[in-house]
Every structure is written in C-alpha cells, then in structure tokens.
Amino acid sequence: MSIYFTKEHEWARVSGNLAVVGISGHAAHELGDVTFVELPQVGKQVKQGDVVAAIESVKAASDIYAPVSGTVVKVNSALDEAPEQVNESPEDAAWMVEIELRNPAEVGVLMSKEQYDAYLKTL
C-alpha cells in the first residue's frame, strides 16, 4: 500500500486496483473547522481531476478532486454525522471515497509523501 498526493492536497492510498481518497492534513488545517462534507453516490464515474466531493468549513467551501480515474465503490458516510473527523484525522479516519482504478498508470503523475512535503515548502 502506497500513499500519493496531488498539488490540490488530495491523497490517494493505493492498494491493488483500489484507491482510498481524502484530503491532506495541510488542507484540513488551511480549511479550519470542517462543518459539512458532500460525498458522491456509489457508482459515480470520475476522471482524474474531476470534482468527486465537496467540503465546507467555517472559512471556505472547496471542491475535492479525484486523484485517479475510476468508479466510486464506497463512501465514508460517517462524515455525514461527524464532518469534524476531517480536522481530527484527515489522512486516516476521514477518508472520503474509495475508487476502483480505471487506469492504474495515472498514479505515476501523483507525488510521493516526500515530494509532497517538499512541494508544501514552496507554498
């Protein structure tokens, strides 16, 4: 299992042909207290870079982009009742969707944890 990041601060934990997706700790910190997470329907088809979910906080509303293309096979419905999990555990318990990969090679354009940490220093 490997974790990858986008410049838009999404992460994808890839295992086999599945990617569990959420937002980074950096993004959660920048958003402030999360008040609402809008998740897609299971079965939704997404392309890499498409909006897959939305998030609202006391500071802003933001789109969450799919780091990979595929089919949404699972959503974290616990976030409906407890959106604050995004602030408490952004890179673990607050995962948002699980996507069955359509094109596993797309993972190659994402950043490793080390590359992402270096990218954050440039912001």
In this predicted model, what pLDDT tens digit does every residue of 83-112 receive, in sequence order?
999 999 999 999 999 999 999 999 999 999
Tell me how crowded residue 17 is: count the other CB atoms within 10 A of its CB: 11
In the chain, how long is the greatest CA-to-CA distance? 37
Rounded-to-integer distance, Cα 111 and Cα 117, Å: 9
Over range 36-51, report the average pLDDT: 98
Mean pLDDT of the chain: 97
Over range 12-33, report the average pLDDT: 97
Residue 38, pLDDT above cutoff 90:
yes
The pLDDT score that the predictor gives to residue 1 is 82
Rounded-to-integer distance, Cα 120 and Cα 16, Å: 28
Rounded-to-integer distance, Cα 55 and Cα 96, Å: 10
SS3 99: strand
In order of their start, the domains of the chain are 2-112 (2.40.50.100)
